[in-house]
Amino acid sequence: MCMKKIKRRYKLLNLCLLILISGCTINNKNEDFETYGITQNKSVSLQKVGTILLKPGDELIGKFREDLSIDNTGEIISFADDNEQEIYLFKRNGELINILGKKGQGPKEFLQISAYSVYNREVIVVDESQSLIKIFDLEGNLKRTFSLFENTRLFINSREIIVHGDTIYLQILEAGYLNDKSGSKLVVGFDLFTGEITDLIGQFDPFLDQIDHHLSLTNISLTPDNSGIASVLTTSSRIQIFNLNSDVRTHYFGLESPDWNPISEKIEPSMPRHVVMERALGNSYSTGLYFSNNYLLHHFQNMTESWFNTNDYLSKENYLNVFDYSKFEYYGTIILPGTLGDVYGDICFIIEDYNPDNFIIGEYEVQID
């Protein structure tokens, strides 16, 4: 396999390409798809403002996922260990607080952690294999648990969870739309204390029907005013925003920057691994939507030959599309020095080294000049 060359950005070429893309996108068959202005004469960059070195003490860090989670105070950083099915909790300065869970079916164990969050000093964990949500305090005491989707035909379809107020939001897929996913509701809301379903929100991006790919995962994020949920398909750069109260889609927009490489060949789960690898090589995948105080940030990755050969997270190519949140103007795309784990306030937490003995997280701010 030959590694696809990554486009190099020159300001003039970049601008011309973006104008061309914008002009073409508006003719898409989805009539409510929107294009927004491109802010000219602006440059985007990252400024490093801090470094966090994890200090696990005598504990051994396993295979952390390619992300992290910041709690609602901005002071607790958490990770999921896929090997041991554990949740690691650290202070903002890198000191270990606690490790919750292990692989198993016991009250404090997990078979498959699909999503987790720390909110108001509680650790909320979704165990997909057991269809359970388990809620702990920071000391590891199990406070309550409830079953998911009893007497309903809903399936967990995400590794993301949003917690706000008394509600847990989780991406789902309705059983009746397994063969037509674009008709399915997108997000379910649960009461944080009773486990009862309170809301079914949004729809899958209709662009899913135009993508010849079996993936239907979606990244979700709460808007800064807590009035809506934003989503982007893993296999698309199009962003939807739904009002939480009315369930109306208020915005549907996107822009393929020159670094975004759309899927060009069909990929199905039944294909041999080497065929999937070959066809996915160079493709772009959305891996997160984040809101800072001023910007909407769209994180995406390009799959590389080095990644498929080594499974080293840092061998992927990471990019960040930066939009003005109030006007949805596109400022530009930043090449990241690692994997964007989470955003809190104006700080982007970027994992720069996954070495268990030297696990480094850089704190960065987006700069617009």
pLDDT band at 40 (very low <50, low <70, confident <90, very high): low
pLDDT at 257 over 90: no
pLDDT band at 39 (very low <50, low <70, confident <90, very high): low
Q: What is the mean pLDDT of the chain?
A: 87
Average pLDDT of the segment spanning 195-222? 90
Note the pLDDT of residue 20. 33
- Read off φ and ψ for residue 210, nearest 5 degrees: -100, -5
pLDDT band at 36 (very low <50, low <70, confident <90, very high): low
Give the separation between CA 67 and CA 339, rounded to whole angstroms: 7
Q: How far is CA 362 from the centre of its chain?
A: 18
Note the pLDDT of residue 99. 96
CATH homologous superfamily, domain 11-368: TolB, C-terminal domain (2.120.10.30)
Note the pLDDT of residue 350. 98
Give the separation between CA 332 and CA 126, rounded to whole angstroms: 35
Write the DSSP symbol of residue 165.
Answer: T
Note the pLDDT of residue 35. 61
Average pLDDT of the segment spanning 342-361? 95
**More confident site: 180 or 79:** 79
Beta-carbon count within 10 A of 29 CB? 9
pLDDT at 254 over 90: no
Write the DSSP symbol of residue 313.
Answer: G
Note the pLDDT of residue 268. 87
The percentage of residues in the chain with a pLDDT greater than 70, rounded to a whole number, is: 89
Contact call for residues 353 and 360 (beta carbons, < 8 A): yes
Average pLDDT of the segment spanning 309-328? 91
> How confident is the model over 302-317, as pLDDT tens digits?
999 998 889 899 999 9
